[in-house]
Chain A
Amino acid sequence: NAGVTQTPKFQVLKTGQSMTLQCAQDMNHNSMYWYRQDPGMGLRLIYYSASEGTTDKGEVPNGYNVSRLNKREFSLRLESAAPSQTSVYFCASSGVNTGELFFGEGSRLTVL
């Protein structure tokens, strides 16, 4: 039982490049989330998916797209990376509404 797994753990991009962060959970959770963590800013929600086939914007969705591929997988795509997207990204899942969030290990992204 691996919980929430996200890849890659580290990535360096040049401005304008694109990339996709992958996330998978094996806990049969309905809801999945992408957060970004910046110093002094806490965890800010980028997008979330309440169930397979649905996605919704969070607090900071600009510059990102997501895909809920199936119940297990939720990917985050940066189409044209910008230095402001340098951050640590966390994927999370939860089983029921108002339930515990289980986080992945994080992906540290640097955009030069």
Chain B
Amino acid sequence: GENVEQHPSTLSVQEGDSAVIKCTYSDSASNYFPWYKQELGKRPQLIIDIRSNVGEKKDQRIAVTLNKTAKHFSLHITETQPEDSAVYFCAAHPSNTGNQFYFGTGTSLTVIP
């Protein structure tokens, strides 16, 4: 089955700096890659996603890049703010597994004011 690895597990940045979280996947059939943000004690919520026919997608301060050849995708947050502090999860969806999503182990991001 699909295996998603996520790095780093923890990340601290100064407010205003950029943060980058990287994920790799193993199954070449994966074609959809969402990113979820989970604030402390809350439910995960989708912040951005990318499909395999696109190399990059941006939404204000958040961007995601995808390299299908290398099987890795990354989340980029620019001009970080304290409210960006949360756990971020990447996920991959193989097209041949029905509705299954495979998640990375999460990155705990702390933005220091």
Using a CB–CB distance below 8 Å, which chain A residues touch chain B? 31, 33, 35, 40-45, 48, 50, 56, 58-59, 90, 94, 97-98, 100-101, 103-106
Contact = CB atoms under 8 A, between A and B. Distances in A.
A40 B9 contact: yes
Contacts, number: 56
B44 A43 contact: yes
A41 B105 contact: yes
Interface of B: 1, 6, 9, 31-32, 34, 36, 42-46, 49, 51, 89, 91, 93, 95, 98-106
Nearest to A31: B99
A12 B100 CA distance: 29
Given A43-B91, A90-B43, A101-B46, 9 more contacts: A33-B101, A42-B103, A42-B106, A43-B103, A94-B99, A98-B51, A101-B44, A105-B42, A105-B43
